[in-house]
Chain A
Amino acid sequence: MIETHHLSKVYSRGLYALRDLTLTIEKAEFVFLTGPSGAGKSTFLRLLLLQERPSEGEVFVNGQNLATLSRSEIQEYRRGIGFIFQDFKLIPSRTVLENISFVPEVLGVPAAQQRRRAFQVLKWVGLQHRMNAYPHDLSGGEQQRIAIARALVNDPVLVIADEPTGNLDPDLSLEIMNLLREINAGGTTVLVATHDRELIRLVGRRTITLEQGKVVEVA
């Protein structure tokens, strides 16, 4: 699913965020990416989302070399990825249902289909009764479940989560992880960046540890 070959990302003044990273993540795999702050976890995810370009090396997703994608191919590629962030990134002026249906809406899906798909994923995360609420009316855990629903509404082949439990207490964190495990059980590849070692231990999946931009352990 994801392959990198000698991937490096250098910022100004020669500072390496990632250095010579070569790794493989299989299709339908659930993988944790961990390491201390500044290890390069978020940079790796940004490269996967094509928010940044590598300085050296290559990234292949589903056999596609990301460096060769045109603008329209990047848009097409991103439609197959669901993303979840620590700060949820919900639109405050839209209701819960609108936050989710926003994704199919901007992809040109007909209105009735947008709402149907949004409601389905909302029901899946168990928040259908909150569909008309606004993000500021929800708890942190509920907001992250909405963000997960939004990530799933487009039926992605890959879900990328950057510190999805960073703002949540341990019980809610486990609840979110269970949702991600369920997504993975359906055949979707899930890549979670987190520095929460306890959570990784509880979920118990393959873990890639980064330090100073290098892979130091795969367990």
Chain B
Amino acid sequence: MRSVEYAFRQGGASLWRSRGSSAFAVLAIALALIVLGALLIVTWNAEQLIAQWSSAAEFSVYLRDDATSDQRGAIETAIDQSGLANGRDFVSKAEAFTRFRREFAELSELTTGFDENPFPASIEVRVRPGAEHESAEALVRRLITMPGVADARYDRDWLNRVGAGLGTVRAAGFALALLMAVAAAVTVATVVRLGLRARREELEIMELVGAPLAFIRGPFVAEGFLQGGIGALLAMTALWVGFLVAMAWWGTDLNNLLGGGSVQFLPIRLCLYLILGGMLVGSAGGLVAARDAA
């Protein structure tokens, strides 16, 4: 405990003495965390949006033109009894035709010239929020085999594609943040090493009197830890201010993009992880430098 207290007292004093050069290390850590934090804000909000879309998922069961009311009843019973549906609507052939002409007015010419209505009747099923996608897909596969069903569509491909795209963006961002974190750790190590050289004689005396390694190396690790902590707090402040400014300028547009939801800052848990990450990067840099001490 005394070694920790000593390490932070000496590390803090050293940080203050070399505040000019330490500012570079603090800035490097802050920049790495700003990049990572900004990326997390974007991906976290996008994930919330995808989750919202996922919970609002629907599938459609298209009926054959010759499907009987008994067959339709059996299909609807199968849907209701599956426990996966939050509700369902029957869309008749006429309603499907009207809907197409309304929603795709520019394509309405395509519907002329037919002797009869080409659109099938369908049952649109809203999937219960929280229902497993695999279960919904299994239900769809079962419905397709039932008499009176022409086809069934549960199109989650685009959601999966958005999710995969988001994963790629996140992976690329993490790789970039990792590179910046390594660069920040190297900067911390360089700055701490400068302080170490200035205290060479003190370290020699410490070694000669038999000081434990925790006392010799501890202050340098603590110095890196403090640089990382300050950098992380700086990054959090910059991210928060940036978030407020972005919301003031583009808040309405961003909220509309989220379909009426509101863009959120990072949850406290992630903020704490980022601060902890900064401290770890700083400590790692300090530890690398401290290995030169003894």
A residues with CB within 8 A of B:
49, 51, 71-72, 74-79, 81, 83, 89, 91, 102-103, 105-108, 110, 154
Contacts and interface: CB of A to CB of B under 8 A. Distances in A.
A44 to B, nearest CB: 16
A182 B208 CA distance: 23
Top 7 A-B pairs, shortest CB-CB distance = A78-B210, A106-B211, A79-B210, A75-B210, A106-B215, A108-B2, A103-B209
Given A105-B6, A108-B3, A108-B215, A79 B204 contact: no
Given A105-B6, A108-B3, A154 B209 contact: yes
Interface string B196-211: 0000011011111111
B212 interface: yes
A106 B201 contact: no
Interface in B1-51: 2-3, 6
24 contacts: A49-B208, A71-B213, A72-B212, A76-B210, A78-B207, A79-B210, A83-B208, A89-B201, A89-B204, A89-B205, A91-B201, A91-B202, A91-B205, A102-B202, A102-B205, A103-B209, A106-B209, A107-B210, A107-B211, A108-B2, A108-B3, A108-B212, A108-B215, A110-B2
Given A105-B6, A106-B215, A108-B215, A77 B205 contact: no
Nearest to A151: B209
Contacts of A103: 205, 209
Contacts of A51: 208
B6 A106 contact: yes
Given A91-B201, A108-B215, A78 B209 contact: yes
Contacts of B206: 106
Interface in B168-217: 201-202, 204-213, 215-216
A103 B205 CA distance: 8
Contacts of B205: 89, 91, 102-103
A89 B2 CA distance: 25
A9 to B, nearest CB: 19
B231 to A, nearest CB: 26
Interface residues of B, number: 17
A76 B209 CA distance: 9
A83 B213 CA distance: 20
Nearest to B1: A108
B2 A78 contact: no
A83 B209 CA distance: 8
A219 B175 CA distance: 72
Nearest to A109: B2
Contact of B211 (A75, A83, A89, A110): A75
Q: Name the residue among A75, A76, A89 with the largest chain B CB count within 10 angstroms.
A: A75
Contacts of B212: 72, 75, 106-108
B208 A77 contact: no
A77 B210 contact: yes
A28 to B, nearest CB: 22
Nearest to A80: B210
Of listed A74, A81, A83, A103, residue having the most chain B CB within 10 A = A103
Interface in B208-233: 208-213, 215-216
Contacts of A49: 208
Nearest to B199: A91
Given A74-B210, A79-B209, A106-B206, 19 more contacts: A49-B208, A51-B208, A71-B213, A75-B210, A75-B211, A76-B210, A77-B210, A78-B207, A78-B209, A81-B208, A83-B208, A91-B201, A106-B6, A107-B209, A107-B211, A108-B3, A108-B212, A110-B2, A154-B209
Contacts of B213: 71
Nearest to A72: B212
A208 B216 CA distance: 35
